[in-house]
Structure 1
């Protein structure tokens, strides 16, 4: 328990007249279970303040039955607003004696050796620079006897690396010691404090989103939204209460904003009813109606075409000229799927529609629809080459160009002026967005 004995030294007494009073304060002792022999041991807890740093919690465990002991240090305060990086140039023996507070989340490294102790690979420790190197040497030497038997070449390389660490431990070579802690709670002693230490560089930095996630915290949402509002919405799934369209039981609908490359943003909505098991998903365009309509024609020539991403809006018509098939506006709703997924939905719609294949269906119609379903299956299996057409007067549908940003030889996209009838279907003929207030005032007079 030498680490705890060092911790009780003068370094961890706050300066000032209250230091003596704190020195008389005994540690808190708690009876604990020994994880080595499963008998009772004693854990001692002591809070001490590191000068020019902050308070830390020292904890040690000792078992009188088996002799197992352990000690670690934990920051007594909260996570700091910024991470911290200490870069120490070790040139003399005295530099190895600098006190170090290394938390669980800190990464210790020696760039000259490409050596690194990753975060969360060790418990927090109150030690020195020499202590960290000595702990690394002990860990590497632990399995060396087994390595010499199983893999002598690896054992030799590790032995050479241990020798270099021992030379650093004896200050025979100058090196750089780096302690990087995104929590901001690690510390390397400056023996010249409060004066500047020429050999120690302290850098405070803003945590990345990945570092914050590793620490289990969430950065300031208002600041993140101010910087990247669109990315925040794309990374967030919103949920609201609704009723199931089948059984009318209370259900929840999930909604997410997704950006489709080389196209635009869309809103995906999905509802799952726990009462009856009904599931539904729907896609809404995230933007306005486009100035021009869009007609997309794909010549299906290869089974790989079935994997193309596809966005079909509610205003889109689907045609397969070779089968004399047309799916009208509003059928199947909005969907974000693949070409294969849409064709399977069409096949299901044909096969399970009671008005087309029910008891009232004539044998001739049933035979015709069965043949149509078979041809759809041939398209899905890559046995039949057809043209697949998506005609959306609102311009909000999309079919993936697998050669993007280059042109796709099998894909043709045509933009056209909408007809009066198409504008009527979209409700655009009666929509007035310019000089509305002036005309409204004139009609009232």
Structure 2
């Protein structure tokens, strides 16, 4: 039984409110529900809230006063991201077991060394740690062991042996690989070295297959319109369509416009402005195809005027600032058409306000490290610190303004390079075949 559709925003505010101990109005809703253990009535408590990196969630807790059975789970109600995400962690130390993990119900968890996999939709979504995921798997395997020992001792013995291997993983006596693969793009694995790059953690964003879209309930609409006619229409008007605010989930409008960037190419800019909570967001998509070569743009920031340079960062572009030992992987922050100052502000907010390094779970050393990072970013923005700003886009769809155009910019270096096999794999190009297809046209003699 669900009463989510009957819930109303508190005093005209958002339905999903940020989780805060100071918010006295944020109270769970209680619903009388059937206990699946004793089939008597119990109480389900629902809390509609949102946590960073997990979007909006419903935290539910059931307790039965008759048989004392209880159950808790998390359901994600946030929007499905445009790309799936895969986190690959090489666990080498006991501290890796404490990494916080957001695992949605459609995510798959794997440990290749043990040939172990938790399939999608076999568990409810959870905010936990790597150790918690292993403990949860152990508990699930141990649950039916008494029945297995009575029915088949050999099978029960093999499962006991496997459970022992899982428990041994938590001691990290030898390294192993932990993989979270989420087609919805809403899972997350903590980087304890933020804002520095974590060499042990590889984050890969990928395009979903048709099967994964179907699994998530997504449907691609087919159209018979001429693409050339559609693009021509986009050049002359601003399109508007209905959507929901990514912050408060209230109805909002998104504007879309095809824009020509001087000395570059056409891009599609989408902007959303929520009248309910005031949240604004903009996103940029490349209007063209993937370029034959990747592009690496390096700018030496020497003057505060560099902060006004226009910048286009596509979804496939990574950002690096060597002086700060900082690297932002592709897919983070999405596509943006802004200025260099605007992107640095977004990076600073993303790192300094990282919720996994704030609150009760944070340590003074980690907080100080993040605050020092924020101060250095501010020094670069004010022109008190020289730095190199690097945009690396394997798809070749990113851009940084040359203020001397059409002349050469002495502080700007643009390099074109051949993509690696791994980069082509991330872009979905290795399995793409465009040769050997019949056009269906025959020549007349």
The TM-score bracket by the shorter chain reads 0.3 to 0.5
More helix by share: 1
Q: Which of the pair has the greater relative contact order for Cα pairs under 8 Å at 6+ separation? A: 2
Q: Please, what TM-score do these two structures have when normalized by structure 1? A: 0.46
